[in-house]
Amino acid sequence: MNPPRTDARRHHDPNVRGFASDNYAGAHPEVLAALALANGGHQVAYGEDAYTDNLQQVIRSHFGPTAEAFPVFNGTGANVVALQAVTDRWGAVICAESAHINVDEGGAPERVGGIKLLTVPTPDGKLTPELIDRQAYGWEDEHRAMPQVVSIAQATELGTVYTPDEMRALCEHAHAHGMKVHVDGSRLANAAAALDVPMRTFTNAAGVDLLSLGGTKNGALFGEAVVVLNRDAVSHMKHLRKLSMQLASKMRFVSVQLEALLARDLWLRNARHANEMAQRLAEGVRAVHGVEILHPVQANAVFARLPHAVTERLQKRFRFYFWDEVAGDVRWMCAFDTTEDDVDTFLAALKEEMAR
C-alpha cells in the first residue's frame, strides 16, 4: 500500500531559534510519538477514553491519592475554570500584580470568569502572608468583592520560585482566613526541577487546594489540566469546564501528551534542561559590562536591563520581548530544546551589540 499523499510543506527554518518564550518551541518527539500511538481506532469522546482514565493514576502518583485531573485546551482556560470552581459570584482572588492571570490573560478571569482580582505589588513576583493581608479584609462588607482565594504562580512571572516552606506558610495563612489556594503551574515542572523536590512537596503536601498544571511550555503540543487536590474545596468542575468551552471532544489527545510527560521523567528532564540553559545564559550575561540581571534566575527565565538601542538591534537577530520598554527591561526564556550553542550564539551577539 502506498503511503498517503501529502501536500504539506515546511514554512519555517527549524534552525532559527529565539529566546522570546518557551511556547515558541515545538513538541517533544516523545510527545509526538505518544500522539501517534493514541491515534489508532476509536475511543469514547469527552474524556471517557482509556488515556484520560490512565492519566488519573499518573496524576495521583505525583499529587496524592485524592488528586483528580481535568484536561483542558490551554493555560488561560485552566486558570479561569479553576478559579471559578472555588469562588462565588461575589468572590475575589488575591494575586501578585505581576501574575499571569492579571497581566497576560486579556482580562479573561474577570470578563469570562466573573472574578474580581485583588492585586498586590511584589518586588520579586512572590506573595507573602504580609502581602496577602493588604487585600485580605472586608468579608462582611457588601460594597467590596469578597476575598475567597489566593492564587500563586509557581514559578512566578518573574522567574522566581517559592520554597516548600514558603508555600506552606501561604496556605496556612490563607486557610486561616477561610480562603482557598490555587497555583498557576504553567511552569510547575521548572519549579520542581529548580528545587529538586517532587511536585507534591510544594502543592498538596503544602496545603494547595487546586492547581493549573502546564504541559505546553514543557514539551506538549497543546493542553494543560486543572488538578483538584482538595475535593471538598471544589464544586462542579465538570460543568464549569464545559461551560467555559474547555471540554475537548477528542480528549485522548490532550491526556496522552500529559501522560507522556508525567508517566516517567520526561517532564523533569525537559524542565531541568531549560533551567540549566537559563543558568548558562545568566552566567554569560553577568560577564557583559553594561547589562544588569534584575531577578534571581531560578527557573528558565532571565530578566535583564540593557540599553534600548542594543535591544532593538538584538531583536533583529533573535526574537525576544521587552518586559518594560520604558525601563529597558527584557525577558529571555529558555526551553526544553534550547541548546548550549543557541545560548553561546546569543551571548556572542549580545556582546557584539553592546560593543558597538
**pLDDT value at residue 1:** 58
| CATH classification at residue 345 | 3.90.1150.10
Q: Indicate the helix (H) or strand (E) that contains 256.
A: helix 252-262
User: How far apart are the C-alpha atoms of 2 and 261, rounded to whole Å?
Assistant: 33
User: How far apart are the C-alpha atoms of 188 and 173, rounded to whole Å?
Assistant: 22
Structural domain count, the chain: 2
- 53 Rama class: left (phi>0) / alpha (psi -120 to 50) / beta: alpha
Cα–Cα distances (Å) from 97 to 167, 170, 195, in that order, read 18, 17, 24
- Do residues 227 and 114 both lie within one domain? yes
User: How far apart are the C-alpha atoms of 129 and 137, rounded to whole Å?
Assistant: 13
Q: Which of 237, 262, 287 finishes a domain?
A: 262
| CATH classification at residue 87 | 3.40.640.10
User: How far apart are the C-alpha atoms of 190 and 172, rounded to whole Å?
Assistant: 24
- Do residues 290 and 208 both lie within one domain? no
Percentages of the chain per state (helix, strand, coil), in multiples of 5: 40, 15, 45
**pLDDT value at residue 3:** 62
- Do residues 245 and 314 both lie within one domain? no
13 within some domain: no
- Do residues 148 and 289 both lie within one domain? no
**pLDDT value at residue 6:** 67
Cα–Cα distances (Å) from 340 to 216, 230, 254, 276, in that order, read 22, 41, 30, 9
Q: Which of 262, 280, 302 finishes a domain?
A: 262
Q: Which of 231, 262, 293 finishes a domain?
A: 262
**pLDDT value at residue 2:** 67
Please name which of 333, 26, 116, 87 lies closest in space to residue 233, comparing C-alpha atoms: 87
**pLDDT value at residue 64:** 96
- Do residues 215 and 293 both lie within one domain? no
Q: Which three cell numbers stand for residue 148?
A: 475567597
User: How far apart are the C-alpha atoms of 156 and 130, rounded to whole Å?
Assistant: 18
Report DSSP letters for 30-83, one per residue.
HHHHHHHHHTSS---STT-SHHHHHHHHHHHHHH-TT-EEEEES-HHHHHHHHH
**pLDDT value at residue 173:** 98
**pLDDT value at residue 4:** 65
63 within some domain: yes
Note down pLDDT in tens along the chain; length 356 residues. 566 666 788 899 888 889 999 999 999 999 999 999 999 999 999 999 999 999 999 999 999 999 999 999 999 999 999 999 999 999 999 999 999 999 999 999 999 999 999 999 999 999 999 999 999 999 999 999 999 999 999 999 999 999 999 999 999 999 999 999 999 999 999 999 999 999 999 999 999 999 999 999 999 999 999 999 999 999 899 999 999 999 999 999 999 999 999 999 999 999 999 999 999 999 999 999 999 999 999 999 999 999 999 999 999 999 999 999 999 999 999 999 999 999 999 999 999 999 98
- Do residues 219 and 347 both lie within one domain? no
Residue ranges making up the domain that contains 328: 266-355
pTM: 0.95
Residue with cell 489556594: 181
- Do residues 239 and 333 both lie within one domain? no
14 within some domain: no
- Do residues 245 and 283 both lie within one domain? no
286 within some domain: yes
Q: Indicate the helix (H) or strand (E) that contains 267.
A: helix 266-286
Assess contact for 127 and 170: CB atoms under 8 A.
yes
Please name which of 262, 268, 271 lies closest in space to residue 63, comparing C-alpha atoms: 262
Q: Which residues pair with 92 in a beta bridge?
A: 116, 147
Q: Indicate the helix (H) or strand (E) that contains 292.
A: strand 292-293
- Do residues 288 and 190 both lie within one domain? no
- Do residues 258 and 333 both lie within one domain? no
**pLDDT value at residue 9:** 87
Residue with cell 526574537: 319
135 within some domain: yes
- Do residues 154 and 105 both lie within one domain? yes
20 within some domain: no
- Do residues 238 and 204 both lie within one domain? yes
